[in-house]
Structure formats: structure tokens, C-alpha cells
Structure 1
Amino acid sequence: MKGCQPVTRNGAPIAAFAALGAAGTVLAGCVAGNDAASLRPSQRCDAVAAQRFIGAMASTASGVELMRLTGARSLRWVPPRTIVTAEFRPGRLTVDYDDTMAITRIACG
């Protein structure tokens, strides 16, 4: 994940996480430059193959594998109860997870 800095959560490395606020809310953000005009069709994200990861644990390893399976150029982790921007980025993979770190949703954009 070029351009991302490893950050830890509870002592464990989690790629693309950045701490936000005093309450310890976590918001992800790893963007490697994704405007639709600059992406060839082969660089666009396709989340179909990644759906088998629903229920798997959100981790550095699962993030790397999800990006490989989808062809995404950037990864956005979405913790529970987090508001995220709605702009569409065809090369971005968005992965939601719950309080137990289980992946609940995988989508491109």
C-alpha cells in the first residue's frame, strides 16, 4: 500500500488506520491518488471476489489480500459508527467492520 504509514491499534499493526479524537474513535484513510480519469479499466476496483472476506477479521493481512483480489489502488477501513465521505473513487476499496473487528461490508468506491 504505497503511501500508507503503518499505525497500531491496541498494540497490533493495522494498515491504513489513523486515530481520531480523544474518545479513541478510529478512522481509516489511505489514499494513493485515484481520480477516475487517471485509472485504466484494469485499475478499477472490483469487489466481487472479495465478498468471501465478510466475517473475517480486519487486519493488515486481510487488507493486503483484499486489495490484491479487488485491484484497488487504495483502501479505506470504516470502523463502527463512523461517518465517511460519499465521493466515489473507482480505484478505492471501502471495508466496514464491527466492534469485534469482523468485516461486515466490502465495496468499491
Structure 2
Amino acid sequence: MHELGVVIKVVKTVENFAKKNGITKIDTLVLQIGEISSIIPKYIEACYPAAVDGTLLQDTKLKIELLPGNGRCHKCYKEFNLIQCRNQCPDCGSHDLEVLSGREFLIKEIIAC
């Protein structure tokens, strides 16, 4: 489970941002995770309490937004959800595709008190 290391890095990044910007209390941290990224949201949620213990984020809420894994067919240019369509164009059946979104892992928002 590499999610703990990822969350620890996020905590350090947010703490550095808060210090540079004079933020002393954070209410909510919002993360965006792509549905075809290597990050599993439920593991992030499970690791979060341990990663924030004793830090500026200790009493924060975590909100995760899931970003869809979308692709475009190179043959017919149809855009579709890669998971729902199992990496196959629903129009022409091609597997020749381009990933448009879904691999992201972003700190979207830091909501200060």
C-alpha cells in the first residue's frame, strides 16, 4: 500500500503551503483522484488519520472527488468512459484510444478556518 507515503507527502506539501501563506488552521482538504490512477481512494481515507496525527492537519476533514477515466477513440473520435466500456470504443469496437483524463491525483482545495 503506497497510499500512506502519498498521503504523508500531501500533508507535508499542505503544511508548507500553509506556513508560507500564514494559514494556522485548516478545516477541509479536498483531493481529486482519477478513477484509473494508481491511487485507491478508500486506502487514502484509511491512511489519512495516521498521516495527519500530530500535524497542522490533525483536525481536518478529508474530501475526495473522483475524476472519471475518459478516453477518445483514434479511429472514430468518440469520447467515452474507459472503465464502463472496458477500454473499447462503444461505437466502433476499437482498442486504439487516447486517455483524456482519470490518471490525476491533485490537491484541489485547502479550506482554512
TM-score (norm 1): 0.24
Q: Which has the larger radius of gyration?
A: 2
Bigger relative CO (Cα 8 Å, ≥ 6 apart): 2
Higher helix fraction (1 or 2) = 2
